[in-house]
């Protein structure tokens, strides 16, 4: 897809709009160059266990970033008193209950695919690598559980606000 097209998925559209209108040109250039190198070196097609573990580590770091964002939303928006009729459920747009969970899920799905692939080839992994895969798997499961709780808190706030506004 041409980077100027926003697409039909609202999360992709929001990210593309953010990229196009707010990200410094130097940063966009780095992202484009990185994507080109990933394609050129066929990193996403490489099935070598060492490459799969590196990709799993990257997926973990992205998931960790996303759960940190979720924790900020919980603490700074969902668990605070709104000011001047502000909606806690709406948050900042990037903190709506479905958005946070969907964004994490988009990271978890490929990470879990990598975990499965690594476990199917565990004879090619060292004991330390197997332990790392298991540890990352456990942490990703904990992230998913926590983000589900954060989403549910946001959904409850949204429901409560609609009921309060109805009366």
Mean local confidence (pLDDT), 10-19: 73
For the chain, the domains span: 1-41, 47-166
Q: With a threshold of 0.85, does the pTM exceed it?
A: no
| Domain 47-166 annotated CATH 2.170.130 | no
Mean local confidence (pLDDT), 126-154: 96
d(CA 73, CA 47): 37
d(CA 84, CA 123): 60
pLDDT top residue among 6 and 154 = 154
> What pLDDT does residue 6 have?
64
pLDDT digits (tens, 9 = 90+) for 120-129: 999 999 999 9
pLDDT top residue among 162 and 51 = 51
């Amino acid at each position: 897809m041409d980077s100027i097209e926003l697409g039909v998925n609202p999360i992709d559209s929001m990210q593309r709009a953010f990229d196009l209108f707010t990200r410094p040109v130097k940063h966009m250039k780095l992202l484009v160059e990185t994507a080109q190198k990933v394609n050129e070196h066929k990193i996403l097609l490489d099935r070598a266990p060492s490459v799969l573990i590196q990709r799993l580590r990257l997926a973990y770091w992205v998931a960790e970033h996303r759960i940190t964002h979720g924790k900020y939303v919980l603490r700074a928006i969902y668990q605070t008193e709104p000011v001047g009729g502000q909606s806690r459920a709406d948050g900042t747009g990037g903190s709506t209950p479905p958005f946070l969970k969907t964004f994490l899920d988009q990271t978890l799905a490929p990470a879990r695919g990598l975990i499965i692939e690594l476990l199917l080839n565990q004879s090619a992994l060292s004991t330390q690598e197997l332990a790392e895969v298991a540890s990352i798997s456990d942490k990703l499961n904990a992230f998913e559980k926590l983000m589900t709780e954060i989403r549910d808190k946001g959904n409850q706030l949204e429901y409560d606000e609609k009921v309060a506004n109805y009366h």
